[in-house]
Amino acid sequence: MSGTKQPLELAICMGSSCFSRGNKRNIKLIKEYIERHGLCGKVVMKGHLCEGLCKDGPNLTVDGQVFNCVDSATILALLDQHLKIQE
C-alpha cells in the first residue's frame, strides 16, 4: 500500500534576482541532498520564472507553500522536515 506517496515538489525561482541571491547555491545543495539520501524519485525539482517577489528572495516553494529568504541552512532544514513528515 505504501509507495504511492506523491513526491515532494520543490519549485525554485530561477529569476535573476533569486538566482543570484542564493537559489543558484540552493539548487546545488538540494541535488546533493537528494543524492546523499537516495531520494531520487521522492523529490521533484522544478524551476520557475520571477514572480515579482524579488525583494523577499531567494524564494522557493515546497509543496505549494512559498518560503522567502531561503539560505542554505533553511533549505536543508526544510528538506529534513518535509521528508520526515512524509515518511
Instruction: Write out the residues near ligand FES by the rule CB under 6 A.
Output: 13, 15, 17-18, 50-54, 57, 59
- Least separation in angstroms between CB 58 and ligand FES: 7
Q: Which is nearer to ligand FES, 42 or 48 (CB)?
A: 48
Main-chain dihedrals φ then ψ at residue 47, nearest 5 degrees: -105, 155
- Least separation in angstroms between CB 9 and ligand FES: 17
- Least separation in angstroms between CB 45 and ligand FES: 16
Distance in angstroms (rounded) separating the CA atoms of residues 87 and 85 = 6
Amino acid of residue 74: T
